[in-house]
């Protein structure tokens, strides 16, 4: 099996290593010649332009930013053969799947989202989402799911729309909170002094803030601008912040405590495992403290 990886950036490099380890033959193409030569020298893989990579492969994995996906698909679509599978790995799925369907009429396409970054060591215990639409895609997705599960990944099959709704909450909101928290903390006085005297909750917040703020701005901007439900969810966060802030402003201690009690009760209702996760969080807090 020969895989063409298009895009020799962070994820393209990760998947090159991954498929080589799996014993696949890998050919890589990318826009920047420099990155391409680096990946060739480092991993000993073949390199080519996008079209020749597609022509020589059984399977194609497109690892470019969403903004560049349509250009790549336009360039390669007429070279896709009936037995080939073309997958993208964009972190949103509705737009990429539409783009692939618009141009690729021969072969099988599949929207995929590895929900992990290039820093992970292996696919074991990582989440991987597949978003097939047609029957042909569903059949391939089930096979690919089994293959990934043999490698101990957690695989989910959902529609592109459902994927994007989920990601608005599980990616978009924490990114937004991390950035706003980081921006706030940097305006709260001496950052390093606070870190020195801080307890576990501040350290947890800082972990999120620093992790998000150290990421690639273009990638994070792209997610915030394209996730479909993001404005609604972040708007809700803003509304909730105002509600809590109003209680603090009014110094309404009992209303604050009641609201917090309500949140705890609701959490217990939606997540009966809450007591257990609370224990886990406590252990986490203790670990951060030590």
Ligand X SMILES: NC(=O)c1ccc[n+]([C@@H]2O[C@H](COP(=O)([O-])OP(=O)(O)OC[C@H]3O[C@@H](n4cnc5c(N)ncnc54)[C@H](OP(=O)(O)O)[C@@H]3O)[C@@H](O)[C@H]2O)c1
Tell me the closest approach of the beta carbon of residue 37 to ligand X, in angstroms: 12
Contact 6, 26 (CB under 8 A): no
Tell me the closest approach of the beta carbon of residue 80 to ligand X, in angstroms: 15
Judged by the rule CB under 6 A, the positions of this chain that interact with ligand X are: 6-12, 29-32, 35, 50, 63-66, 68, 71-72, 89-91, 114, 117-118, 219
Nearer to ligand X by Cβ, of 54 and 66: the residue is: 66
Closest residue to ligand X using C-beta atoms: 9
Nearer to ligand X by Cβ, of 51 and 248: the residue is: 51
Contacts of 236 (CB under 8 A, 6+ apart): none
Beta bridge partners of 6: 29, 62
Tokens of 164: 């994007």
Tell me the closest approach of the beta carbon of residue 144 to ligand X, in angstroms: 16
The rounded distance, in Å, linking the Cα atoms of 141 and 129 is 10
Nearer to ligand X by Cβ, of 112 and 185: the residue is: 112
Token pair 């336009």: residue: 74
Tell me the closest approach of the beta carbon of residue 103 to ligand X, in angstroms: 14
Tell me the closest approach of the beta carbon of residue 283 to ligand X, in angstroms: 27
The rounded distance, in Å, linking the Cα atoms of 271 and 265 is 10
Nearer to ligand X by Cβ, of 185 and 226: the residue is: 226
Nearer to ligand X by Cβ, of 173 and 185: the residue is: 173
Nearer to ligand X by Cβ, of 29 and 84: the residue is: 29
HSE at residue 75, side-chain half, CA atoms within 13 A, is 17
Tell me the closest approach of the beta carbon of residue 8 to ligand X, in angstroms: 5
Across the beta sheet with 127-131, what order do the strands follow?
46-48, 25-29, 2-6, 59-62, 85-88, 108-114, 127-131, 154-157
């Amino acid at each position: 099996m020969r895989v063409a990886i298009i895009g020799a950036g962070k994820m393209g490099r990760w998947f090159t290593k991954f498929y080589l380890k799996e014993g696949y033959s890998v050919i890589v193409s990318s826009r920047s010649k420099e990155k391409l030569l680096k990946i060739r020298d480092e991993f000993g893989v073949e390199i080519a332009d996008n079209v020749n990579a597609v022509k020589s492969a059984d399977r194609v994995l497109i690892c470019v930013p969403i903004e560049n996906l349509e250009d790549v698909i336009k360039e390669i679509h007429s070279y896709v053969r009936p037995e080939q599978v073309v997958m993208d790995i964009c972190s949103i799925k509705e737009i990429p799947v539409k783009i692939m369907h618009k141009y690729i009429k021969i072969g099988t396409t599949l929207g995929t989202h590895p929900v992990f970054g290039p820093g992970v060591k292996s696919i074991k215990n990582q989440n991987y989402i597949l978003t097939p639409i047609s029957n042909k895609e569903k059949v391939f997705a089930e096979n690919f799911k089994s293959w990934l599960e043999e490698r101990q990944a957690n695989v989910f099959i959902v529609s592109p729309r459902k994927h994007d709704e989920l990601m608005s909450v599980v990616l978009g909101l924490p990114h937004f909170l991390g950035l706003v928290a980081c921006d706030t903390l940097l305006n709260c006085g001496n950052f390093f002094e606070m870190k020195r005297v801080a307890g576990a909750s501040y350290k947890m917040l800082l972990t999120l803030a620093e992790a998000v703020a150290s990421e690639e701005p273009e990638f994070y901007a792209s997610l915030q601008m394209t996730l479909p439900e993001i404005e609604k969810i972040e708007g809700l966060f803003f509304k909730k912040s105002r509600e809590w802030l109003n209680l603090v402003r009014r110094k309404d201690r009992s209303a604050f405590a009641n609201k917090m009690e309500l949140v705890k009760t609701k959490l217990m209702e939606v997540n009966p495992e809450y007591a257990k996760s609370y224990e886990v969080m406590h252990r986490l807090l203790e670990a951060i403290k030590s």
